[in-house]
Structure 1
Amino acid sequence: MSDDLLWRHLRELPYFRALLRAAEAGFVGDVHLPRPRLDLGAGDGHFASVVFKDGVDLGVDPDGASLAEADHRGCYRLLIRSFGGRLPIGDERVASAVSNSVLEHIPEIEPVLSEIGRVLRSGAPFVFTVPNPAFPDHLAAPPILARLGFPRLAEAYRAWFVRVVRHWNMLDESEWGRRLEAAGLKVETTFRYFPPASLHALEWGHYLGVPCLLPRAVFGRWILVPARWNLWLTERFLRRYHHPSPCADGTYSFYLARKV
């Protein structure tokens, strides 16, 4: 995708989310996903509204408030409130599926993968992005704490941060391959992205982004003034960490699997 994806996310999201989503939008947008198209974990619909200019046929998410926001964006033909382990869709009814930074938040992932395998047609692509095992290893704070003489605190912080971001599935390529194969899917392409420096910017953003909670709570918007003059300093800072290309030391992974 040739659009300025970083800016399109930054003008509506806290900067740490914008940084990650901008990279993912480019990867997902470069894959042809035929219709009818399923978005598993649609959330507030922002990602889909940026990536899929022709819209999405079906969005599924368990959170009603997020679905209401997604509906307001107008990029979904149909939105359903449901958990991924029991999709209200017939067998082999979907021509493609996408799940962006969602599967890591689901403790019991096998039923979800099985459902995706069930609803996809033969040969249909399934694209998803997830953090990988490098994520906790490359957090910024633990090495600092260890150098200061607090190794136990460093490990405690690492475990705490992973809990805060609810990353239950940070699997490597071989493990994802096994689990997908059990669901009738085969990995066609995978690569890592989002290097440690970008992860550090994301990590600190969880703290620096706290002021965004106020306009979100009062006005329903993360960014009150989505203008470049208002966000130019943030954008300038983020550009050095915007890395929209695969990299060997990436802390997130992109997968393109296909229904066998």
Structure 2
Amino acid sequence: MTPVELLTTFIAAYLAQPSTAYWRAIEIAATLRYGLPDGLGLDLGCGDGILTDILLSGSGARRLVGVDLDPLEAEAAAKFSFYERVHVAPGNAIPEPDGAFDFVLANSVLEHIPDLDGTIAEVSRVLRSGGKFIFTVPAPAFHDNLRGPVAPGVSRKAYLETLDRRLAHFHYLSAPRWAEMTERNGLSLDACLGYLDRRETRRWETLSRVTGGLLYLAFGETKRPIEIQRSLGMRHLQNRARLPRPVALAMSKVIEFGASVDRNRGGWLDANSSSCLLVAGTKK
């Protein structure tokens, strides 16, 4: 699937989340470009399974076990037949035996986990020797690539702090820090590749500012985006309906105008300046 096809697919699936659809289209295109390993995989932070369903439509079928901390998300994910089972559990206490998996995938998950080191240790435990891991995560340059506040009197520091609270981002690790963390947990780092450039980051920011950002403000900056979506019935609708393909295609053309999702499809970005990293490696 091309990045443009992915964007249309994500817009159709994420009815009320155009900014998320835009980011995920670029991210999943990067994951498909790197390649998904074969064998039995653990989908760490599987969410409702919709993203993984789209990923597998591009990579081909895989056998998967899902794990997510949110019971409602896990319940939704369990409806997909590619999951052999779905656990409700934290990332640092996965109810699976040592060496159970050929690969572990964590797509835009690890930045949300406060106990990151414990989770990476658990990833190492459940991987077999020679097993692979693929993580997609925001990078330190994410903050630098944002345009920042548009409201007068708001400092950039306050803007970034509010954004991180809304997104529940706890970590922005550089490539050297990923190398250190994986190494001390018995994993070797094979690649740390950049995606999502400054223009794409700012397009995401604009979309997010007028959708999730406004809702977050309207709810007093106290509820997580997923809680807001549920209270408005958006999550229920998302798990049961899709936009017609022609409508989604028309929306995708508007959303990516001037910041095409396929502008970097031919390669990877500098890991020091890109907003996100694909971190991949092997269990020793």
Q: TM-score scaled to structure 2, two decimals?
A: 0.82
SS in 1 for 2:128: coil
Q: 1:214 to 1:231 in 2, by over 3 A?
A: farther
The count of aligned residue pairs is 255
| Pairing of 1:1-260 with structure 2 (within 5 A) | 1-2=1-2, 4-13=5-14, 14-30=17-33, 31-52=35-56, 53-142=60-149, 150=153, 153-210=155-212, 213=229, 217=233, 220-222=236-238, 226-239=243-256, 240-243=259-262, 245=265, 246-248=268-270, 249-260=273-284
Stretches of structure 1 lacking an aligned partner (at least 5 in a row): none
SS in 2 for 1:83: coil
1:209 deviates by 2.9
SS in 2 for 1:95: strand
Q: Which moved more, 1:10-19 or 1:23-32?
A: 23-32
What fraction of aligned residue pairs are identical, expressed as a percent? 24
Measured in 2, the distance between the counterparts of 1:188 and 1:58 equals 24
> Are the counterparts in 2 of residues 48 and 55 from structure 1 also a CA contact under 8 Å?
no
1:27 deviates by 2.5
> Are the counterparts in 1 of residues 30 and 195 from structure 2 also a CA contact under 8 Å?
no
Measured in 2, the distance between the counterparts of 1:219 and 1:172 equals 33
Cα deviation 1:46-93 (Å, max 9, x = unaligned): 111011241442001010111111122333111011101011111111
Measured in 1, the distance between the counterparts of 2:120 and 2:80 equals 27
Measured in 2, the distance between the counterparts of 1:207 and 1:197 equals 15
Q: TM-score scaled to structure 1, two decimals?
A: 0.89
Q: 1:216 to 1:56 in 2, by over 3 A?
A: farther
Measured in 2, the distance between the counterparts of 1:174 and 1:197 equals 25
Q: Which moved more, 1:48-57 or 1:82-91?
A: 48-57
SS in 2 for 1:29: helix
> Are the counterparts in 2 of residues 39 and 99 from structure 1 also a CA contact under 8 Å?
yes
Cα deviation 1:129-158 (Å, max 9, x = unaligned): 00000111221224x56xx6x4x6222111
Stretches of structure 2 lacking an aligned partner (at least 5 in a row): 216-227
> Are the counterparts in 2 of residues 138 and 199 from structure 1 also a CA contact under 8 Å?
yes
